[in-house]
Amino acid sequence: MTHFLHSQSDLNAALAQLVADDPRLVPVLDKAGEVTLRRAEGGFAGLARTICGQQLSTASAGAIWGRLKDAFDPFTPEALRRARADRLARLGLSSAKIKSIKAIATTIAKGELDLDAVAELDADTAHQILIAQHGIGPWTADIYLLFCLGHADAWPAGDLALQETARLAFDLPARPTTKEMIAIGEAWRPFRGVAAHLLWAYYHVVKRRDGAPVPDKPAKSKPKTPAKRKK
């Protein structure tokens, strides 16, 4: 069964079930305190916004997204597909992000990608469809599924904050790799996305206590060969 987090009560109920199924998470929840649901717009706009935010601070990503959304109203795949690259660049998008957004816009406009249909799929199937698109890597796909669609089982295993939280919460000798995080998440199906919300909340509390700067958005792990890999 596919679960979605449409409201705070949905998250609270799923979190209670998750912790009941895995008692290791009880002290994590105790320290994290309130876990707040974060949701954003879905569809093409949500996916474009997720791409805009790749490897940027929340402030920078928000500024670029604001200019982009204001420049194209309504914000449709057809409008972005036809947009001049130099105009998009003046709004603050990098050449790689311009290429990614225009490619996705073209795919949607041609009817080759149906984001409404993707929204109804289980996390693994939706993930595979999204990463098959140009410019959408695993992190981007899972962040879109989790925050834009409210998918309760999306699992951004490559997120640095989640990896660091797993190390701290479970007293691991080193920060888990993406592959190791995928394995860790298996115990939390079908609520891996709920576990992600919990771990991010824990991360904020622990890092604030330690006096370290706390990112206000999930942190994408950096690829070893950025020029050759999707974001």
Domain boundaries of the chain, sorted by first residue: 8-39+153-210, 43-151
Contact (Cβ atoms closer than 8 angstroms) between residue 107 and residue 138: no
pTM for the predicted model, two decimal places? 0.87
pLDDT in tens, 169-218: 999 999 999 999 999 999 999 999 999 999 999 999 998 765 444 444 56
43-151, CATH topology level:
Endonuclease III; domain 1 (1.10.340)
Distance CA 172, CA 197 (A): 20
Average model confidence (pLDDT) for the chain?
90
190: preceding bond cis by omega (within 30 degrees): yes
Specify the CATH architecture of the domain 8-39+153-210: Orthogonal Bundle (1.10)
**What is the distance of C-alpha 61 from the center of its chain?**
14
pLDDT in tens, 134-163: 889 999 999 999 999 999 999 999 999 999
